[in-house]
Amino acid sequence: MIQHKQLQNGFKYMEINNVYASAKIALQGAHIWAYTPKDKSDLLWVSEASYFEEGKTIRGGIPVCFPWFGKHATDASLPQHGFARTSLWKLVKEVVQADGSTLVRLELRETAQSLKLWPYKFTLTLDVHIADSLSITMSIKNADEKAFEVGTALHTYLHISDVEDVNIDGLQNTSYFDALTQSTQIQKDPLQIDKEIDRVYTVSNRVSMSDKHHTINIEPQGSNTLVVWNPWKKKSASMGDMTKDGYKTMLCLETANAREDVRVVKPQETHVMGVIYR
């Protein structure tokens, strides 16, 4: 079943229920903000203080970062993580498939406003497949006459029992850039977290995250970078859309094209990046 709903303030979203799972997707940002497999807890974390308003980002779920990740390289006045996550996307497909799973396709193209921020024509497509796993595929087509460079991320907030009980496997012997110390280091052991973290790992293989209740496998496509982020206590308290202890039950593991993994897309070519959560 696919239902189209809106909050009292007019914020529009889709609610999907099938034999495998339920999910919610906002049309603003093509933002997946709930995915709950049958008889299990929600895979995604959303802040209790998050905004669900036009023009404001949702703190949690899976924000889409495009056409740059983080701050703009040359103009700090431009929006953090680009404009896709606050843009209104077009729903182009919603299909209940023969096996009972659901496919939703949303699309974003350039507008007069986006061209002021980023002077390129493009077609950005997000395919969301809701089954016993959550599969997301982002396709970036260059519809312009000149090549462009693009940085992206599926900025996923995972719901966890306690951040200090999390174990992340699959990052061993990989390098990472630490944004807090501005240094590059090597991860020797499975990752555990006991303080603020903001790292970009150079990795393209499957990574798994385990806590007391479950293990989540993360399988990337078209990505050689994984961002690991948790703001910890002090920064959480300073964020208006996050409760002061919200950091305890969330961890961002973001499939990305960041730093040296940004991609150049030539005219009429398409770059595909995505992830499967099992």
Q: Give the residue numbers marked as catalytic.
A: 155, 254
Cβ(188)–Cβ(240) below 8 Å: no
* Residue 250 token pair: 């969330």
Q: Is 174 helix (H, G, I), strand (E, B) or coil?
A: strand
Q: Which DSSP category does 232 fall into?
A: H
Q: Which residues make Cβ contacts (< 8 Å) with residue 272, sequence separation at least 6?
A: 137, 138, 139, 140, 221, 222
Q: Which residue in the block uniquely carries the two structure tokens 């995972």?
A: 158
Nearest to 51 by CA among 3, 107, 9, 5: 9
Q: Which residues make Cβ contacts (< 8 Å) with residue 20, sequence separation at least 6?
A: 37, 38, 100, 101, 130, 131, 132
Q: Which residues make Cβ contacts (< 8 Å) with residue 56, sequence separation at least 6?
A: 86
**What is the CB neighbour count within 10 angstroms for residue 7?**
11
Name the CA dihedral angle for 40, 34, 278, 203, rounded to a multiple of 10 degrees. Answer: -140
Q: How far apart are CA 195 and CA 51, in angstroms?
A: 26
